[in-house]
Amino acid sequence: MDQPLRVGVAGLGTVGASVVRILSRRENALGRGGRGIRLVGVSSRTRNRDRGIDIDRCAWFDDPVAMARSQDLDCFVELIGGSDGVAKAAVEAALDAGKHVVTANKALLAAHGLDLAKLAEKRGVALAFEASAAGGIPVVKTLREALAGNEIIRVSGILNGTCNYILSRMEQEGLSFADCLADAQRLGYAEADPTFDVGGFDTAHKLSILASLAFGTEIDADAIYVEGISSITPLDLKMADDLGFRIKLLGVAERSKSGIEQRVHPTMVPKDSAIAQVMGVTNAVTIDADAVGEITLVGPGAGGDATASAVVADISDVARGRVGAPFGLPTARLDKLKRAPMQRHEGGYYVRLSVLDRPGAAAAIATRLAQADISLESIVQRRAETPNDDPEQRSHRAVPVVLTTYATSETAIRAALEKVIADGHIAEAPQLIRIERE
């Protein structure tokens, strides 16, 4: 009988501790159809901390790089995090030593995935990363294996539970972004420095991985246009609801005439769409393909047990001898990504303007949009309340005006709004949100 797969886990935070618990609980069942699985080593920054797990039978390594090189290990599990530093050094050491690697580290893959995949292929070992893109949702395996017979047209989805939680609370309770963020931090959904999540960068890293799998291209996280959610207000969410939409932070990668378009930004989606029903910390990924059409995968995108489930599934695959090209194709066959400039993106737009309440302002704005060949689908004005109707006071008062457009280009809408700003008829920067109708 084959010897068990000897596993070492580096990083014993929430996910790492969950991985250890699952391996301990299901040690005999996980290797069905292949080798057994045995946890033999662990590494973390703090040794004598109560994590609620039994690691007494495991070798302790103060240095994860040393564990990665250990001859007593067959599979190195990296749950340290970060795109560089010790996480990168340990993964490189493990691969170079001929060890299989399982990781949940999207930042590492976004920055160095191609080089790490080349090293894994050279050594004939696995580089598995199901947990890196959407927590417990098996989207990596779906793209790489289950849909191998399809040409992927588009991958899109909610890839960050923190942002979805904040937007859901803002919509349902009318709270401000700042209040919801503070609550998310209190509950542990957001970090003390939330920029990586709310700025859209976490979603961008995950999207870069999914785009590589979907389109057979090299990872290029720098090609992704990124906007976060901090500018979204309760008024935007209320107006979206009135117009039949919800606002979600979406990551979108799709084929276009000018190349592969990759973008992360707040998006209005129809309230009756599948993606609009995804609330709270849940994630969802929709894949459009030529043979199967559209499929949507929904599930927990974060949390110890959900992410650990994906990590352990990768370990189980390694025990069964499933070692293939990390990104579906050998790295030599991955295409260079042909970037589609965001300026060429076409679609509908929601525009919220704080228009100064004076004669001719609205007409001037409409003229600027018409000059850019932008057709308006709807115009909604919210009259501001004032104690009197004094003309002088009214001329300094800003009235919220919401416009929605038919399909136009990013270049056209931004050029028109620059002229609107220059004309001096608005009191603050415009709010611009893209509309996805399908």
Which tokens is 59 given?
Answer: 């070798």
**Both structure tokens of 233:** 């207000």
Pairing of strands 225-226, 245-256: unpaired
> Quick check: helix, strand or coil at residue 133?
helix
Q: In sequence order, what are the residues at sequence separation of 6 or more whose Cβ sits closer than 8 angstroms to the Cβ of residue 90?
A: 10, 64, 65, 67, 68, 76, 78, 80
* Contact between 405 and 374 (Cβ < 8 Å): yes
Q: Is 324 exposed, middle or buried (0-12, 13-18, 19+ CB in 10 A)?
A: middle
| Torsion angle defined by CA atoms of residues 48, 54, 59 and 64, in that order, rounded to the nearest 10 degrees | -60
Active site residue 141: no
Strands 376-381, 346-356: pairing is unpaired
Q: Which two tokens stand for residue 187?
A: 């509950």
Question: From CA 425, how far away is CA 303, in angstroms rounded?
Answer: 47
Spell 343-358 as b/e; 16+ CB within 10 A means b. eebebbbbbbbbbbbe
Which residues have CB under 8 Å from 262's CB, separation 6+? 204, 207, 208, 211, 220, 223, 224, 225, 251, 252, 253, 339, 340
Q: Which of 88, 106, 206, 248 is catalytic?
A: 206
CA distance 249 to 276: 11
Cα separation values, 146 from 125, 138, 433, Å: 21, 10, 34
For 242, phi and psi rounded to 5 degrees?
-60, -30
| 82 Cβ contact partners less than 8 Å away, ≥ 6 residues apart | 88, 105, 107, 108
Q: Give the integer Cα–Cα distance in Å for 224 and 252.
A: 9
> 310: Cβ–Cβ under 8 A, 6 or more apart, which residues?
104, 130, 131, 135, 136, 137, 138
Enumerate the active-site residues. 206
